[in-house]
């Protein structure tokens, strides 16, 4: 059935921007739900995420090398006695005293007594004794406690879109469950007797329903859930029934004749 409406006085076509403003003015945030942080990609946070502790939890080394006292290498080249090896994840059992060094790996906590890390590139990489070939300023190659975040800091604010980096931050503060906005459902319907679906036999003069699938893909890209209503024939009864079904969703997108 094809009909034409008589133009009404004073009506005008509105710009796309105005149409968007009208639609957005009607949109309100949906409810929230709790999900595992591993399922939060593409969602929107509905709570502040706080740091549980300082990161780093203590002063640590930013380089592989030797924990030393800056005053001991001020007149480099010098040789220092290596008193301990310190891999990342372990804590020193010895203190760095005058004339000594501790071999240290990136990320390991600084041992007591040390105030500088001589990166391995300026040493001879010795095991029992190490030769340090260049002087360094005190504090070189050290990451300070809380440099990334302090306990209690808001590291992700309510309303933040969760991408891959945000998932890493949530994991870093050991928060297994996060509160996010509920994913909206979006009903998509195409109207018109001229429309056929992807698997239908092509008939001369018909149009393949590509719009619905493009719209569904766009909906998924935004993190929402598409709900395909299908092709709606050009009858008042079918149109009313399709719209009533579509209104069970949070949003409705129609494609076809006006």
- For residues 190-213, b (16+ Cβ closer than 10 Å) or e, as one string? bbbbebbeeeeeeeeeeeebebbb
Q: Where are the beta strands (DSSP E) in 92-132?
A: 100-104, 116-119, 129-132
What does the pLDDT look like over 55-79, one tens digit per residue?
Answer: 888 999 999 999 999 999 999 999 9
Q: Taking the model in full, what pTM does it have? A: 0.70
What is residue 2's predicted lDDT score, i.e. its pLDDT?
57
Q: Are residues 152 and 200 in the same domain?
A: no
How many beta carbons lie within 10 A of that of residue 9, not counting itself? 4
Query: Do the domain assignments include residue 82?
Result: yes
Q: Tokens 């709900």 label which residue?
A: 227
Q: Are residues 91 and 40 in the same domain?
A: no
Query: Do the domain assignments include residue 8?
Result: no
Q: Are residues 106 and 158 in the same domain?
A: no
Distance CA 29, CA 36 (A): 21
Q: Are residues 39 and 164 in the same domain?
A: yes
Q: What is the CATH number of the domain that holds 212?
A: 3.40.980.10
| Domains contained in the chain, number | 3
Q: What is the CATH number of the domain that holds 78?
A: 2.170.190.11
The parent domain of residue 122 ranges over 60-143
The share of the chain scoring above pLDDT 90, in percent, equals: 76
Q: Are residues 64 and 125 in the same domain?
A: yes
What does the pLDDT look like over 25-50, one tens digit per residue?
Answer: 998 888 999 999 999 999 999 999 99
What does the pLDDT look like over 74-124, one tens digit per residue?
Answer: 999 999 999 999 998 999 999 999 999 999 999 999 999 999 999 999 999
* Nearest in space to 253 (alpha carbons), one of 13, 72, 222: 222
Query: Do the domain assignments include residue 232?
Result: yes
Q: Are residues 137 and 115 in the same domain?
A: yes
The Cβ-side half-sphere exposure at 162, using a 13 Å CA radius, reads 27
Query: Do the domain assignments include residue 14?
Result: no
């Amino acid at each position: 059935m094809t009909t034409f409406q008589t133009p009404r006085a004073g009506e005008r076509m509105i710009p796309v921007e105005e149409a968007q403003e009208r639609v957005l003015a009607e949109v309100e945030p949906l409810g929230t739900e709790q999900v595992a942080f591993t399922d939060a990609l593409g969602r929107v946070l509905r709570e502040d995420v706080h740091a549980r502790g300082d990161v780093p939890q203590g002063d640590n080394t930013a380089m592989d090398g030797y924990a030393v006292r800056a005053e001991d290498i001020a007149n480099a080249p010098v040789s220092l006695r290596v008193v301990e090896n310190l891999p990342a994840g372990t804590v020193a059992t010895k203190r760095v005293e005058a004339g000594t060094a501790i071999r240290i790996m990136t990320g390991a906590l600084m041992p007591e007594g040390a105030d500088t890390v001589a990166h391995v590139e300026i040493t001879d990489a010795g095991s029992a004794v190490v030769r340090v070939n260049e002087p360094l300023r005190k504090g070189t190659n050290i990451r300070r406690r809380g440099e990334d975040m302090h306990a209690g800091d808001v590291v992700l604010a309510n309303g933040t879109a969760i991408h891959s980096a945000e998932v890493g931050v949530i994991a870093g503060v050991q928060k297994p469950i996060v509160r996010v906005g509920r994913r909206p459902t979006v009903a998509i319907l195409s109207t018109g007797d001229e429309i056929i679906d992807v698997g239908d036999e092509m008939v001369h003069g018909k149009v393949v329903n590509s719009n619905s699938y493009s719209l569904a893909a766009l909906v998924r890209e935004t993190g929402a859930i598409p709900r395909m209503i299908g092709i709606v024939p050009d009858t008042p009864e079918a149109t009313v029934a399709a719209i009533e079904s579509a209104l069970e969703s949070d949003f409705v997108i129609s494609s076809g004749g006006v």
